[in-house]
Amino acid sequence: MIAIAYLGPHGTYSELAAETYARWHNTANYQLRPFRSITRAIQATVDHDADVCVVPVENSIGGSVAETLDTLWQASNLQVQQALILPIHHALVSTAQVLSDIRVVYSHPQALAQCQNWLAQSLPEAQLTAINSTTEGLKYLPEQPTAATISSLRAAQLHSLPVMAHPINDWPDNCTRFWVLSPQTATQGSHTSIAFGLPTNTPGALLKPLQLFATQNINMSRIESRPTKRTLGEYLFFVEIEASLASPQTQAALQLLDSCTEKLKCFGSYDLIQAEACKRASTVA
């Protein structure tokens, strides 16, 4: 039996990712454990209250999920066991008879952002209200025929609630990347993620780490800066490379990287499972 922690409640996209992970591993023997925040799901895995957690790291519209990156950097020694890329198709769920009856739309801030053009055109007068997840607002709908939520089709079905429009996301190729994390060491896989700080006040300080990868002919598939929180203008960099931690090239780059960065953290190597609809994703930098 494996216990999988994720951002709940029942019906979220994170739950769908958790189930995809279990199915991929061909295990029927798993327990889903929803938590109220990403941080709590990660902490449960650090504390061995769950075997793995499945958390969102990046969306193709909203960008990085800051809570995931910050929590991983600060608190945990978890490693990435797998990356999952899943399509996100939002539905407008409501018990209203017609769109013009809707006065308020509840959803997670990222989901509201991903549908902002549709909302501006179809519900220009509705008040948009941010809540903790895409499914939390579903409970208000049976009592409030002037309310709607932005949720997945699956969540609407689970709660037997009517879908008024689908899909309503502004960009059709809306995909989210999830990480499966556990305390197990992960050294083999097509991709490796690391993070580091830099010595301050040096022109070109970021250049050196990037040069090390280019010299080893290692492609970088992602770079993201996050504030160190000490002072404005100090950053951490989260980098994903297209190489296994076990490869001699990566080992050579990481050894040199240690001398030109401050506090280097490695989150391990992993393979990518990518849904068909998200296959256009490619390398940029």
Interaction between residue 217 and a second copy (CB under 8 A):
yes
CA angle 265, 274, 268 (to 5 degrees): 15
CB distance 141 to 91 below 8 Å:
no
Nearer of residues 29 and 74 to a second copy, judged by Cβ: 74
Of 53, 111, 198, 260, the residue at the interface with a second copy (CB under 8 A) is 198
Interaction between residue 191 and a second copy (CB under 8 A):
no
Interaction between residue 60 and a second copy (CB under 8 A):
yes
Q: How many residues bind a second copy (CB under 8 A)?
A: 58
Interaction between residue 275 and a second copy (CB under 8 A):
no
- Residues in Cβ contact with 184 at an 8 Å cutoff, skipping those fewer than 6 apart: 79, 81
Question: Which two three-digit tokens encode residue 155?
Answer: 């969540």
Q: Which helix H or strand E contains 121, and what residues bound it?
A: helix 116-122
266: β partners: 194
| Sites for a second copy among residues 100-139 (CB under 8 A) | 109, 113, 128-132
DSSP-derived secondary structure letter, 95 = -
> Helical H runs in the chain?
13-24, 38-46, 66-74, 109-114, 116-122, 153-158, 207-215, 248-260
Cα separation, 164 vs 93, whole angstroms: 6
Of 163, 210, 252, 273, the residue at the interface with a second copy (CB under 8 A) is 210
Of 5, 218, 245, 266, the residue at the interface with a second copy (CB under 8 A) is 218
Stretch that binds a second copy, among 47-55, 97-105, 159-167, 210-218 (CB under 8 A): 210-218
Interaction between residue 277 and a second copy (CB under 8 A):
no
DSSP-derived secondary structure letter, 285 = -
For a second copy, the binding residues (CB under 8 A) are 58-63, 66-67, 85, 109, 113, 128-132, 171, 173, 175-177, 198, 200-201, 203-207, 210-211, 213-214, 217-227, 229-235, 278, 280-285
